[in-house]
Amino acid sequence: MYLVIVESPTKSRIISKFLSRDYKVLSSYGHIRDLPKSELGVDIERNFKPKYVIPAKARKIVKQLKESTQKADLIILAVDSDREGEAIAWHLAQILNLNGKKPYQRIVFHEITKKAIEEALKNPRKIDLKLVNAQQARRILDRLVGYKLSPFLWKKVVRGLSAGRVQSVAVRLIVDREREIEKFKPEEYWSIEAKLQQRTANSEQRTVKNEFLAKLIKQNGQTIPKLGIKTKEAADKILKDLEEAEYKAVDILKKEIKKYPLPPFITSALQQEAAQKLRFSAKQTMRLAQQLYEGVELGKKGSGGLITYHRTDSLNLSTEALKATQTFIKNQFGRSYALEAPRVYKTKSKTAQEAHEAIRPTQVNYQPENIKQYLDKQQYKLYDLIWRRFIACQMPPAIFDSTVINIQAKNYTFRTAGQILKFDGFLKVYPMKFSEAILPSLTKDEILELIKLIKEQHFTQPPARYSEATLIKTLEEHGIGRPSTYAPIISTILDRGYVEKNEQRKFFPAEIGFIVNDLLVENFPEIVDVNFTAQMENNLDKVATGEKEWVPVLRDFYKPFEENLSKKYQEVEKKKLEEPTDKKCPKCGLPLVIKLGRFGKFYACSGFPECKHTEPIVISTGAVCPKCVEGDIIERKTKKGKVFYSCSRWPKCDFALWDKPTGEKCPKCESLLVQEKNNKIKCSNKECRYAQIKARP
């Protein structure tokens, strides 16, 4: 009997259907060993030797695996093919005493299909210790930073805080962006457009007006910069100069423009696109991608993984997949939509594992619509996105006919541009926003009629807050994190309460996030330095390729870090995070103070620790509770941080709303009016359909 061990029960179920009865497939249910939670678990003096333990939840699984191992003739480790998977394989080998009394094989595959599994079984290998060491070094490094820095934060700020090596850099990016926004001073500028028309005659000799807009771009032959017209007076002067001006089409440039498809997805690109198009969080995207990778039951079609491995930074595509795609496109859309030769993409990242593939469907013939019934709504949306992106990357470019016209009026130049889609190409499968603007057919030196000049005031905008998509993109551009870490980074900084999301799903720092970030920036600059963290990621990559040894990498980091930490314990004073108030403690009568905890501010008795009374700080909306008519409607948060509004007399009164009350009553039914996230005002009574036509700003 051959025992195959994977890390997921779903994966186990699907793979078992591909193999004969000679094989038994079991799951380890993820990691079966880790560093202990209750102690550092790293012997620094003995070359950072880790102390691994079997978590309580994994003990039953380990016992079952050991029993099955004793009965097996050969153990086949078929866990994922990245560093994390290689580490799981190594821990299994250690616990099950493989290569000691029991022989083993390590197999890897990038898609869960019958053909891929059979091919992997024909090409076994041993565990790659370089990959194991890279994962082990990352785990130990993160443990050292977390376990050493967190007590420092408890002592100098408040208990319950924690610090992370990569997460702290992400928080810094968000804090720095927020301060940019706070310091930003908008600048006024003006734009000027001419609304013009061409007069032509049709076959019936009727006059046809072709109107279009042209933007002012030059004065005296010099380009006017974006902020070149700074005041209304300057704009008015230009408008006065243009009085009695003749508008002539002096340059007409026509050309064909090609828009090429985007490459297939890698992990970071998938997370960004799913956030922008589907409003999925990075964590949600990875969960769904895992399900699609591990396999889905497809009725009479059988079962198997729908996409290749989803943790990848490689743009490589298999020759077999490219050939199948070329045939599919010809049959489905016609020869004009197929390429003469497959399009090959070059991976930008120097550290990408080229043996991996980009994320693609395992079977191009599994069109999303044809298997929709076997997927849930979210799985379908993500699969549809992946399938279309891959098919599109092997299709010809979209072709536009572009026209640019320069129009002279005295010493001023206006410009208008338009484009018309000539051939949709890849857009047939993967729609993207390309503006189409049809211009009248003008001839050189043709005189145009001015309808009116339009001046418009603008103000420069501050840099935008990070969304999940833009934060991942920034981390990737700086070389921070790897395909498997982006989603955990974001989840961690949200769970710790260092950052929050606003109604537009953009990140902003919580007050405690500012405090912790500033403390780390001032005293541990390397920990939160973008370049330093990127260099550490690069060192870990070199461990994975065998260019560096993991112990010296850790030693080079830890020695100066420990010395600085010891010094800072002496130098840094505890932050005073209390504010006096006029409120009295209801238990002992002493004054209440405002304290800052990891989840924000709260009232606490100044007599602590003798008196441990605390109470939340509530924000009143100014609206009276319509149910009890005694309490006020106040802002509260769920345990997950979602804002809602309820009666201040809760739990005596259970009135609650998700939308913020305006303080006004519905003119139809007298219920409270509320303001939705899109600023629309409506009645809180679900049976009343009143809504204001015009939303409040």
634-689 pLDDT per residue, tens: 888 776 667 889 998 888 899 999 888 988 888 888 889 998 766 778 898 888 87
Instruction: Report pLDDT digits (tens) over 596-638.
Output: 876 678 899 999 889 999 987 878 788 889 888 888 898 887 7
Which residue in the list 23, 293, 309, 558 is annotated as catalytic?
A: 309
Q: 657-680 as b/e, with b when 16 or more CB fall inside 10 Å?
A: bebbbbeebbeeeebbbbbeeeee
At 139-175, the pLDDT tens digits run: 999 999 999 999 999 999 988 889 999 999 999 999 9
Amino acid, res. 79: V
Choice among 25-29, 481-485, 582-586 with the minimum mean pLDDT: 481-485
Global pTM reads 0.85
Lowest mean pLDDT among 99-108, 402-411, 470-479, 483-492: 99-108
Alpha helices in 72-166 (DSSP H): 83-95, 114-122, 129-156
Give CATH for domain 158-183+464-571: 1.10.460.10
Q: Are strands 2-6 and 23-27 parallel, antiparallel or unpaired?
A: parallel
Taking the C-alpha atoms of residue 691 and residue 682, their distance in angstroms, rounded to an integer, is 4
Give the residue among 253, 272, 254 at the shortest CA–CA distance from 262.
272
CA nearest to 471, candidates 43, 169, 146: 169
Length of the chain: 697
Q: Which residue carries 């290749």 as its tokens?
A: 308
Does domain 2-127 fall under CATH 2.40.50.660? My reply is: no
Cis peptide before 651 (omega within 30 of 0): yes
Instruction: Calculate the alpha carbon distances from 130 to 49, 136, 539 in Å.
Output: 16, 10, 12
Query: What does the pLDDT read at residue 599?
Result: 67
pLDDT tens-digit map of 200-243: 645 454 455 589 999 999 999 999 999 999 999 999 999 999 99
Q: Which region among 177-181, 200-204, 526-530, 633-637 has the lowest average model confidence (pLDDT)?
A: 200-204
189 annotated active-site: no
Q: What is the CA radius of gyration of the chain?
A: 32
How many other C-beta atoms lie within 10 A of the C-beta of residue 435?
A: 7
Cα separation, 646 vs 222, in Å, equals 60
109-132 burial, b at 16+ Cβ within 10 Å, e below that, comes to bbbbbeebbeebbeeeeebbebbb
Within a 10 A sphere around the Cβ of 387, how many other Cβ atoms? 23
Name the CATH topology of 267-393.
Topoisomerase I; domain 4 (1.10.290)
pLDDT for 416 equals: 97
Distance CA 512, CA 597 (A): 7
Per-domain boundaries in the chain: 2-127, 158-183+464-571, 188-260+398-459, 267-393, 579-683
Flag whether pLDDT at 375 surpasses 70: yes
Select from 3.10.20.30, 2.70.20.10, 3.40.50.2300, 1.10.10.10 the CATH code of 188-260+398-459. 2.70.20.10
